[in-house]
Structure 1
Amino acid sequence: MIINEQEYQVRGLTYTIRSAREADAKELSALRLQIDGETENLDREQGEGFIDASGFERLIRADTESRKNIFLVAVVQGRIVAFSRCEGNHLKRFAHKVEFGVGVLKEFWGYGIGKHLLQESISWADSTGIKKMSLHVLETNEKAIRLYHSLGFEVEGVLKNDKVLSDGQFYHTVIMGRFPE
C-alpha cells in the first residue's frame, strides 16, 4: 500500500515520511545492516538475516501491491535514515491484524521519527479496517514502551528469557497490541 508523503520538522531537523520505492532497495539493505549493529533492541545482530538489494526490491514490490502490508521510510536531505513495516497475514483467521516493526539510525534518535512512522502506520491501519496492530519490544527499551502506551498499545504478555544479549544475560520480550475502537 502507498501513503501520501508527510513532512515533519522536529528540533531543527526536517524529514519526510513516505512509502518505500523499489529504487530504495540498495540503500535499505545497507541501512538495515547498520541499524542492526547500533542497537540490541532489535532481534538480529549485525549481518544476521541479511537482505540484499534484490530481496528488498521484492519486499517493497509485494508490500506496495498488498492491502495488508505497508513499508515506510523516513528521509533526511535525500538520505533514508529509518524504515518501518506493517506485515499482515493472508490466513483468514489472522487477516484482521498486522505486525509492526521499526528501525531508526542511532544518530537520528530523539527526533520523533519512530513515533511519526508508527503514527502513519496507525492511520493506515485504521483507514483500511485493520482490527489489531501488534509489536514486540525488549523489556529494557522503556522509552519505546512509553511511546507505544501513549499511542494506544497495551501489554498483552511477556515472553520470559526470550533473548540473550551481548552481556550473556537473558531478557524478556514484551508483546503489545493496539485495538482501534
Structure 2
Amino acid sequence: MIIDAREFTVKGLRYSIRSAIAPDAEQLSEVRVQIDGETENMDREAGEGFLDVPGFQQIIQEDTELPRNLFLVAVAGERIVGYSRCAGTYLKRSAHKVEFGVCVLQEFWGCGIGKRLLQESIAWADAHGIRKITLHVLETNEKAIRLYEKLGFEREGILKNDKLLSDGKYYNTVVMGRFHD
C-alpha cells in the first residue's frame, strides 16, 4: 500500500514521512545495520539478518502491492533516518490485524519521528479496515511503552526471558496491541 508524503518540523528538523520506494533500498540496507548497532531495543545485533539491496527492493515491491502491508520511511533532507512496517496476512483468522515495527537512527531520537511513523500507520490501518495492530517491545524500553500506551495500545502479555542482552541477562518482551472497533 502507498500513502502520500507528509511534512513535519520538530525542534528545527524538517522531515517527511512517505511510502518506501525501490530507490530507497540501498539506504535502507545501510540504515538497518546502523540502527541495529546503536541500541539493544532491536531484535538483531548489527549485521545480523542482513538485508541487501535486492532484499529490500523485494520487500518494498511486496509492501507496495499488498493492501495489508505498509512500509514507511522518514526522510530528513535526502537521508532516510527511520522507517516502519506494518505486515499483515491473508489467513482468514488473522486478516484483521497487522504487526508493526519501527526504528529510528539514534541521532534523531527525540524528534517525534517514531511517534509520527506510528501515527501514520494507525491512520492507514483505521482507514483500511484493519482492526488490530500488534507489536513487541523490550521491557526496558519504557519511553516506547509509554508512547504506545498514549496512542491506545494495551499490554497483552509478556514473553518471559525473551532476549539475551550484552550484560548477560535475560529480559522480557512486552506484547502490545491496539484494537479499533
Q: TM-score, normalised by structure 2?
A: 0.99
Give the match's secondary structure for 1:94.
coil
Provide runs of 4+ in structure 1 moved above 3 Å. Answer: none
Give the structure 2 partner of residue 29 of structure 1. Answer: 29
CA distance in 2, matches of 1:74, 1:43: 20
Give the structure 2 partner of residue 153 of structure 1. Answer: 153
CA distance in 2, matches of 1:163, 1:79: 31
Offset of 1:101 from its aligned partner?
0.1
Give the structure 1 partner of residue 99 of structure 2. Answer: 99
Give the structure 1 partner of residue 118 of structure 2. Answer: 118
Percent of counterpart pairs with the same letter?
67
Q: Are residue 16 (structure 1) and residue 20 (structure 2) matched?
A: no
CA distance in 2, matches of 1:76, 1:69: 23
Quote the RMSD (CA, aligned, Å): 0.5
CA distance in 2, matches of 1:28, 1:11: 24
Give the structure 1 partner of residue 76 of structure 2. Answer: 76
CA distance in 2, matches of 1:180, 1:88: 15
Gap regions ≥5 residues in structure 2: none
Gap regions ≥5 residues in structure 1: none
Give the structure 1 partner of residue 142 of structure 2. Answer: 142
Give the match's secondary structure for 2:161.
strand
* Residue identity matched to 2:37: G
Offset of 1:89 from its aligned partner?
1.0
Q: TM-score, normalised by structure 1?
A: 0.99
Give the structure 1 partner of residue 44 of structure 2. Answer: 44
CA distance in 2, matches of 1:95, 1:179: 13
Q: Are residue 5 (structure 1) and residue 5 (structure 2) matched?
A: yes
CA distance in 2, matches of 1:78, 1:27: 10
- What per-residue deviation string (whole Å, max 9, x for no partner) do you get for residues 82-122 of structure 1? 00000001211111100000010000000000000000000
CA distance in 2, matches of 1:111, 1:37: 20
* Residue identity matched to 1:108: F
CA distance in 2, matches of 1:116, 1:178: 16
Offset of 1:127 from its aligned partner?
0.4
Give the match's secondary structure for 2:149.
helix
CA distance in 1, matches of 2:135, 2:83: 15
CA distance in 2, matches of 1:34, 1:112: 19
Offset of 1:49 from its aligned partner?
0.5
CA distance in 2, matches of 1:176, 1:133: 8
Give the match's secondary structure for 1:121.
helix
Give the structure 2 partner of residue 177 of structure 1. Answer: 177
* Residue identity matched to 1:49: G
Give the structure 2 partner of residue 131 of structure 1. Answer: 131
- What per-residue deviation string (whole Å, max 9, x for no partner) do you get for residues 29-58 of structure 1? 000000000000010011111000000000
Q: Are residue 56 (structure 1) and residue 56 (structure 2) matched?
A: yes
* Residue identity matched to 1:144: A
* Residue identity matched to 1:124: W
Give the match's secondary structure for 2:174.
strand
